Copies of this chain bind each other. A is one copy, B any other.
Amino acid sequence: MTQNADFEDWVKTGQDLLERFLQQHLPAPTLAPQRLHEAMRYAVLDGGKRVRPLLTLAAGELTTAPLPTLITVGASIELIHAYSLVHDDLPAMDNDVLRRGKPTCHKQFNEALALLAGDTLQSLAFQWLSDPRLALDPARQLHLVQQLALASGSRGMGGGQAMDLENTNQNPTLPELEAMHLKKTGALIRAAVLMGAHCGQPLDENAQQHLAHYANCIGLAFQVVDDVLDAEADTSVLGKTAGKDAAANKPTYASTMGLSQARAFAQELHDDALHALAQAGSQTQRLAQLAHFIVHRSH
């Protein structure tokens, strides 16, 4: 088996385990209030690459964390990601109609339900993460809650979205763009890596810092590649509306640096990530493969 086929199998297995967990643990659509539960499931199930929980699984291998714990933690992070997409697509934000090849949540249901589905997905993430059955030491588990809350909040993902709003129709400098993306996309990706590692044997301070650097680099690379794909891909391949950043006058790496420079920057970030990773531990193969996957994906 080639290394690539092995990685693809690992990704598929991880995605299947996550999908099964999400299917089973999201509130059943037969449970009241039914429409809300349908909207929550619609927003989460059967879509997305599950990059964040895959990073959690991979980082957990580094510290030999138990798989069931990693699945729950990764699924909680995915709920936060899914809720952020639902709210981001609302008319008051990006006003988008297509997501993962399907109508966005507020198009399929309505705005009020999409708003509430996002809100309750966030609550559910913290419910799963604080579940007493997680089989982690309570103090360590509490730290996971703290990490996810910080990554989601006004100094993390939510703050990055607010900075993104302020940037529209402005011409931010590259450092300003980077500061925004380190929060908007980076904070949750970083949390996915560090929380996964946190579920196993404690890493020393030095290894943690290298892992955090890896996470920052791939978080930023993820966004740079997103911008490049948005600028050049077809809507049909992307599964969401392409070219919408330019249409919305949103500054991106593609518009700020130019396409080829942005592609080169993503590759630099990838190399920087791998360099840091080599100093974080020995079981880093999956994290390295995921960095490659993030930078070289086509959607």
A134 vs chain B, min Cβ distance (A): 9
**Does A150 make an interface contact (CB < 8 A)?**
yes
Whether A233 is near chain B, meaning CB under 8 Å from some CB there, is: no
CB atoms of B143 and A142 under 8 A apart: no
Count the copies: 2
Return 7 A-B CB contacts under 8 Å, by A number: A35-B166, A40-B154, A84-B119, A87-B116, A90-B115, A116-B162, A138-B142
**Please, which residues of chain B bring their CB within 8 A of the CB of A113?**
162, 165
Q: Which of A125-133, A237-245, A284-292 contacts B (4 or more CB under 8 A)?
A: A125-133
A residues touching B (Cβ–Cβ < 8 Å)?
27, 31-33, 35-37, 40, 83-84, 87, 90, 92-93, 110-113, 115-116, 118-120, 122-124, 126-127, 129-132, 137-139, 141-143, 145-146, 148-150, 152-156, 158-159, 161-163, 165-166
A132 touches B149 (CB 8 A): no
Chain B neighbourhood of A166, CB < 8 A = 33, 35
A166–B109 Cα distance when bound, in Å, is 12
Residues of B within 8 A of A141 (CB): 138, 142
Which listed residue (B92, B120, B137) contacts A154, Cβ 8 A? Answer: B120
User: With A35-B166, A143-B132 in contact, is A158–B127 under 8 Å at CB?
Assistant: no
Find out whether the CB atom of B158 lies under 8 angstroms from the CB atom of A123: yes
Partner of A27, one of B137, B142, B148, B155: B155
CA distance A32 to B183 in the complex (A): 11
Tell me, in angstroms, the Cα distance from A217 to B153 when the chains sit together: 34
The CB with the most chain B CB atoms within 10 A, among A123, A145, A150, is that of A123
Q: How far is the CA of A130 from the CA of B153 in the complex (A)?
A: 14
Query: Which residues of B lie under 8 Å from residue A145 when comparing CB positions?
Result: 126, 129-130, 142, 145
A31 to B149, CA, bound (A): 18
- The answer to whether B163 touches A32 (Cβ under 8 A) is yes
Instruction: List residues of chain B with CB within 8 A of the CB of A35.
Output: 162, 166
